[in-house]
A and B are shown apart, each in its own frame.
Chain A
Amino acid sequence: MKDDKKNKSSLENLSGNYAADDLNEELERLARTFQQELDKAKQDAELNEKLGDIVQGLPDEETLEEADLCAACGERRRDKSVSPDYEYCSVCREAMRHYPLSIPALLLTVVLAVVAVVSAIDFCGYIDGYENVRLARKAEKENRPESAVEYYDMAIAIFESDDVSAKRLYLDSADDLMFAMPRGRSTMEDVCRRLQKAVDTIEAKIPLYARYNDVNEEAGAMAATLDLVEQTMNDEAFADYDGKDEETYKQIIAKLDAIGEQTVTVDALDGSTVTRPADLSVLYLMEYIFAYSTDHLDDTLRYLEKTEEAAPERLSLYAYEMGLVLVQNGDANRAKKYAEKLYAANKDSVYGPCLYATIYRMTGKPDEAHKWVDIAIDEMPDDVDLKRQKAMIYLSEDKPQEAYELLGGLMNDSSFAGYAQFYMTYIVAAHELGKTDNQAAAEEKLQTLETAYTDRMNDYLAGKLTAVQMFTKGTGDVE
């Protein structure tokens, strides 16, 4: 009873505490709250319903085959829009466009690029040397071996100044010298020197250098044969030989022939000593020179033919002399063949043009003769004998004035040291023009050389031979 009364009084108190408006407000607030919660619940319900649909729409993992997975990441589906067989997803494909560069590869390439540039700079530093080698090779193709050797020597000097080995240049220049043989014995020694410089004793045993071993031995044998010839000629037994005694001539020839049966020793490139037969081409050439200098003209052609037979490729040894002998004997056509071979083989040499000039001079074609001697003079403008050749052409076409002026220029040069054939040719020109003073001056110079007039000069001065005949008939020269 007391509790009921308490409760009743509490309620009465509550009613008393809350005014009607306040109660309404509270109820309205509660109503709004309930409505909000109800709306939220409805939204959640709708969202859940949608998510439920989506989840239901996703394939289960068991339905995505491994063949459909990206080969790179293994998670995403392959991008079939690229091609049906494409192996990667779109995300990985995009990443592949930016595949990072390998740092080691980058560094290596940079280093190689720097080395390449340094290589190019080094090449530029020796460009003059390489240019000389190029010019040497070009000269070889143009059959100008002597020019080629000059260019090789310039290149060798450039490279060797920096201790750069140039073996190939020594070998190639030795080949050119061996072919051209421009300076006789000193050339043979030069060939051996170059080959020894290029090929050491160990390399000499390699088959690659076998050919150069042969060249070295060949050049050495030629020089050694020359030594034997010189020993024979300097033999005391022949010290008094004046070139006239027939018996002594035959003895000397017999001794020289005996050299052909001998052997010579040569220093090989591998350091050993090799024995080879004496070089017959050199021997026969020396016999030709001996026969010619002792007026045994009947023997000259025979020795030259033997020289050619012994070494047909060594045109420089015999071709010019052979051509001269043939044209002197009236066989101009055969002489021309030697001139052709000589000129074709070595455009640097003046012997080919000189032989052509002689052939045309002696066959009555002075214009052609002038053309060829001018080619020779262009090659060697300071050569005195070429000027004498030209003067002989003028004299052969009865133009002594031109010959006199050409040779007179040299006669007036105080530093000029002439030789017998030059002075005799000048004397002919002066004699034709009646210049007796100049002729006497030349005769004095001839006397200083202790040389007497040749038989042909005596015949000319005696009136038995005209100037034109002097240079177009017989030997075609003053001797």
Chain B
Amino acid sequence: MTTLYIVTRFLTFFGAEARTFFEHLTCRILKLPIEDTRAFKPSELCAHVEHELAPKLGGAFLVCWLPFTLTTLMSCLFLLTGAYRILYIGDYSSLISWLLLWLGFSFAANCFPTFEDVLNLRDKLYGQKGHTVAKILLAPYFAVFFCGAWLERFSITFLTAGVFTAFFPQIFTAIFPLVKNIVQMSSDI
């Protein structure tokens, strides 16, 4: 299983490298001791930074959320051209579109935190000293992180990223009118 995991990280090289960088950045912000920042190491922590667990809830949440958000955001930006050009309108001749599609897929396949970080978040959030409001507000995030991190252990996020990429135009189309209005307002300004 680890071998498969490492192989999928190599196949999604740019996403893995960027996610490792974002995790490193987050750990520096939180001043968490970092043990190993290599993106491609032959272990379960491939494409992750080896670091101490955050001691407080805020840190535990940030170490899961910030890399996830940045990676997912960049994936969406790549797919805006890649997925729309290739899957939505059928522009199969543009190599740049294929590259952007692969970048979007790579980032989508590397957006979830490590399972250890998620378990740490769970302990801080739902432990004895957990704050009730935080438990409710952060529950959706925790659910997403937990499922994603668990799936990533078995490299299933490689498949879920494929599904996300394939259906990205349909997903994004739900907020399309809002985006179009914003773009038009921006161009008017």
Contacts and interface: CB of A to CB of B under 8 A. Distances in A.
Interface of A: 88, 93, 96-99, 101-102, 105-106, 108-109, 112-113, 115-117, 119-120, 122-124, 126-127, 129-131, 133-134, 137, 155, 159, 164-171, 198
B: contact size bracket: 35 or more
A112 B14 contact: yes
Interface in B108-147: none
B34 A96 contact: yes
B183 A96 contact: no
A165 B78 contact: no
A116 B74 CA distance: 6
Contacts of A109: 17-18, 21-22
A134 B89 contact: no
Given A98-B28, A134-B173, 18 more contacts: A88-B33, A96-B33, A96-B35, A97-B34, A98-B31, A99-B34, A102-B21, A108-B17, A112-B103, A113-B74, A115-B78, A116-B77, A116-B78, A127-B180, A130-B89, A164-B91, A166-B89, A168-B88
Contacts of A133: 88-89
Contacts, number: 111
Contacts of B82: 119
Contact of A105 (B17, B92, B100): B17
Contacts of A105: 17, 20-21, 24, 39
Contacts of B154: none
B90 A168 contact: yes
Contacts of B88: 130, 133, 168
Interface in B141-189: 173, 176, 179-180, 183
Contact of A119 (B81, B90, B94): B81
Contacts of B31: 97-98
B51 to A, nearest CB: 8
Contacts of B39: 105
Question: What 5 A-B pairs are tightest by C-beta distance, nearest first?
Answer: A168-B90, A167-B90, A96-B33, A116-B77, A123-B80
Contacts of B14: 108, 112
A106 B21 contact: yes
B8 interface: no
